[in-house]
Amino acid sequence: MPTGYWVSVYPTIDAPERLGVYNELAGVAVKAAGGRVLAGVGSRVVAHEAGIAERVVLIEFDSFEQAVAAYESAAYQEALAELPDGFERDFRIVEASAMR
């Protein structure tokens, strides 16, 4: 079964201190769902073309289905509710290529 990934890019972060509750709840939800953070806050980024060098987060799950279920979980939905109003992010769930 192909691995699943959460990929998040945050174009701007005006007040990173407002993310504390989200970060704490999201971390617990991801860990409980078997997710592993591969790249996150503090990781080095070189952006090309229209790329954004702000905060980039990459989380791996054992399967695409597990990644989707983690996003839909009550624990992660609780975390999402704590994102500040007007907060912008580009988030997607991606299935790994079977040809890796």
Task: Report the CATH number that the domain containing residue 32 is assigned in CATH.
Answer: 3.30.70.100
pLDDT value at position 24?
94
Whole-structure pTM value: 0.86
pLDDT value at position 36?
96
pLDDT tier for residue 94 given thresholds of 50, 70 and 90: very high
Tell me the two tokens of residue 7.
């990929």
Within 8 A by CB and 6+ apart from 19, the residues are: 13, 83, 84, 87
What is the number of structural domains in the chain?
1
Whether 100 maps to a domain, the answer reads no
DSSP state of 45: -
Rounded to the nearest 10 degrees, how much is the dihedral formed by the CA atoms of 79, 80, 81, 86?
A: 140
pLDDT value at position 100?
54
Whether 91 maps to a domain, the answer reads yes
Mean pLDDT, residues 36-53 taken together: 82
Within 8 A by CB and 6+ apart from 91, the residues are: 6, 7, 8, 9
Question: In terms of residue numbers, what domain contains 57?
Answer: 4-95
Tell me the two tokens of residue 42.
């503090």
